[in-house]
């Protein structure tokens, strides 16, 4: 409603309530398991190209989320009294695939091994799906964006198979891992170098055709294995915060970095920045070139999005807050009553919950039984009880003859709706801000919070 102007009428109104998922025909989609539920996989994702992957994610985000600026766009004339919206800021996590045993890569090139023994690929090559010998999901997958080769460890983790994406076929032979199963694998973007961490914490590396040679023994729990964008340096990250660097061209140790603040529970790379996660969810960002802690924004500059496993599925994250929008039929309606004996203001709210407010200070309190509840109505959004005035929502802005009002409900977000005034004007007293009321007393000002678009969490 807010983000698009559409034609009036019942059929057009129905378009406003399509689900957040992309429209797909039943016969053009497959089902995949994510956690305990199955999801539809649009045919667009079956194409196996990075363009189709990016397009799918972009369209999914556009369907389910809106930018802060679009919250201020009035609806098409005649629709303002037919629906309203609620918006809540959250981290968007579109699901790319379900039933994933392992994965490797990013939006520039991605491989996801499924438990059914297949490996789904999104790349510049015309190869969208591969099969592992013997079936079963690959315990580890190694793929570098633009790489013409892909490596995957079988379900037992003691054999590595290499695939040629240009021919969409497995290269004959296999690379045995003496101390399997493989814990981690990484492949350079050129597809020339392969690295492995085995069950003994040995770091092995070499040409993708083999053989792999042991170059180091990790002292701590490995969290990440990968290559720098220039592909000349292999990076292994331990839970302690120790980062081991190995030069591939001359196969020499390049020393190590010690990131303070550990131990860490997870790690990934965005360009030359290593992102380490603590058990409380806080993240630390270490720049390999500066050998120093940097801000999250520097990581996002090098790689604005990343992909990771969550609840058995593969999800896409931009690391920024977006406004999730939900549409509601009709106009917002409050059922308000007043108890003189309890000095309470009772509201049947927009989320269909009942809330109680003190008449003395206008703040929300626990409700109580009363025998003298009396329904009251508002005049221009203001309720009057004796000499006191109460307001549940505030004017956000006016565009032309349309006024936008907003009410905030804790843990539910902002409820927004437009009303026709008949008199043109342009009001915007709090640009890019929405109101939060700590008190419903009319003379108590609302707290206006900024809508910081793209805020990094």
- Rounded Cα distance between 258 and 187, Å, is 24
Kindly state the tokens that stand for 70: 């679009």
Question: How much is the pLDDT for 294?
Answer: 94
- Rounded Cα distance between 133 and 156, Å, is 11
Question: How much is the pLDDT for 231?
Answer: 65
Identify the helix (H) or strand (E) that includes residue 115.
none
Question: How much is the pLDDT for 310?
Answer: 78
CA 429 to chain centre: 32
Report how many helices (DSSP H) and strands (DSSP E) the chain contains, helices first: 3, 40
Question: How much is the pLDDT for 182?
Answer: 93
With contact defined as beta carbons under 8 Å apart, do 327 and 418 qualify?
no
CA 224 to chain centre: 21
Q: Which residue has the tokens 């309470």?
A: 344
Distances (CA, A) of 383 to 237, 273, 337, 360, 395: 61, 55, 10, 14, 15
- Rounded Cα distance between 180 and 156, Å, is 8
CA 103 to chain centre: 17
Q: Which residue has the tokens 């969490």?
A: 457
With contact defined as beta carbons under 8 Å apart, do 336 and 359 qualify?
no
Within 8 A by CB and 6+ apart from 408, the residues are 414, 415, 434, 435, 436, 437
Distances (CA, A) of 164 to 121, 159, 177: 12, 17, 20
Kindly state the tokens that stand for 427: 């009001």
Question: How much is the pLDDT for 6?
Answer: 32
Per-residue pLDDT of the chain (457 residues; tens, 9 = 90+): 333 333 333 333 333 332 333 333 333 455 554 444 444 455 656 677 788 888 877 777 777 777 777 788 887 777 767 788 898 887 777 778 788 888 998 888 899 888 888 888 989 998 988 988 877 778 899 998 889 999 999 888 899 999 999 999 999 999 999 998 999 999 988 888 999 999 999 999 999 988 999 999 999 999 999 998 876 789 999 999 999 999 887 778 888 999 999 899 999 988 899 999 999 989 999 999 999 999 988 887 877 777 878 777 888 776 666 788 888 888 899 999 999 999 999 999 999 999 999 999 999 998 788 889 999 999 888 999 888 999 999 999 998 888 999 999 998 999 999 998 888 888 888 888 899 999 999 999 999 988 765 443 3
* Angle, CA of 405, 407 and 409, to the nearest 5°: 165
pTM over 0.75: no
Q: Which residue has the tokens 């389910």?
A: 64
- Rounded Cα distance between 409 and 321, Å, is 19
- Rounded Cα distance between 342 and 357, Å, is 11
Question: How much is the pLDDT for 95?
Answer: 79
Residue range 102-157, pLDDT digits in tens = 899 888 889 988 888 888 898 999 898 898 887 777 889 999 888 999 999 988 88
Question: How much is the pLDDT for 35?
Answer: 45
Distances (CA, A) of 131 to 27, 126, 177: 23, 15, 20
Question: How much is the pLDDT for 41?
Answer: 53
Question: How much is the pLDDT for 164?
Answer: 95
CA atoms within 13 A on the CB side of 312: 11
- Rounded Cα distance between 122 and 142, Å, is 13
Query: Could you tell me the strand order of the sheet in which 118-122 lies?
Result: 100-106, 109-114, 118-122, 129-131
Of 130, 11, 167, 2, the C-alpha closest to 73 is: 2
Residue 215, beta-bridge partner list: none
């Amino acid at each position: 409603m807010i983000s698009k102007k559409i034609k009036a009428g019942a059929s057009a109104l129905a378009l406003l309530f399509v689900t957040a998922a992309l429209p797909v025909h039943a016969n053009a989609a497959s089902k995949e398991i994510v956690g305990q539920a199955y999801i539809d996989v649009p045919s667009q994702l079956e194409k196996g190209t990075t363009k189709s992957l990016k397009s799918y994610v972009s369209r999914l985000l556009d369907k389910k989320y809106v930018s802060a600026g679009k919250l201020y766009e009035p609806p098409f004339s005649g629709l303002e009294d037919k629906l309203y919206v609620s918006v809540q800021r959250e981290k968007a996590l579109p699901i790319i695939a379900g039933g994933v045993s392992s994965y490797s890569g990013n939006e520039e090139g991605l491989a996801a091994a499924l438990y059914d023994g297949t490996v789904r690929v999104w790349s510049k090559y015309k190869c969208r799906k591969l099969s592992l010998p013997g079936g079963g999901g690959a315990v580890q997958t190694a793929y570098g964006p633009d790489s013409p080769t892909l490596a995957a460890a079988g379900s037992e983790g003691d054999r590595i198979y290499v695939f040629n994406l240009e021919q969409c076929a497995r290269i004959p032979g296999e690379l045995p891992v003496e101390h399997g199963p493989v814990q981690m694998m990484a492949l350079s973007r050129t597809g020339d170098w392969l690295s492995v961490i085995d069950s003994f914490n040995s770091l092995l590396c070499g040409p993708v055709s083999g053989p792999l040679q042991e170059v180091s023994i990790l002292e701590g729990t490995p969290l990440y294995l990968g290559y720098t964008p220039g592909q000349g340096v292999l990076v292994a990250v331990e839970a302690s915060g120790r980062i081991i660097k190995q030069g591939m061209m001359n196969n020499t140790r390049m020393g190590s970095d010690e990131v303070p603040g550990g131990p860490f529970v997870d790690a990934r790379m965005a360009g030359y920045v290593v992102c380490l996660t603590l058990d409380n969810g806080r993240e630390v960002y270490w720049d390999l070139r500066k050998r120093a802690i940097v801000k999250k924004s520097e990581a996002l500059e090098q790689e604005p999005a990343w992909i990771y496993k969550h609840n058995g599925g593969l999800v896409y994250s931009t690391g920024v807050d977006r406004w999730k929008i939900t549409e509601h039929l009709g106009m917002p309606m409050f059922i308000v009553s007043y108890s003189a004996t309890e000095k309470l203001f009772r509201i049947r709210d927009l989320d269909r919950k009942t809330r109680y407010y003190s008449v003395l200070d206008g703040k929300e309190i626990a409700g109580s039984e009363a025998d003298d509840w009396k329904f009251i109505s508002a005049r221009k959004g203001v309720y009057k009880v004796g000499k006191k005035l109460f307001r549940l929502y505030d004017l956000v802005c006016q565009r032309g003859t349309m006024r936008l009002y907003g009410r905030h409900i804790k843990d539910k977000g902002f409820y927004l709706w437009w009303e026709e005034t008949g008199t043109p004007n342009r009001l915007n007293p709090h640009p890019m801000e929405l109101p939060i009321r700590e008190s419903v007393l009319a003379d108590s000002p609302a707290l206006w919070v900024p809508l910081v678009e793209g805020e990094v969490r």
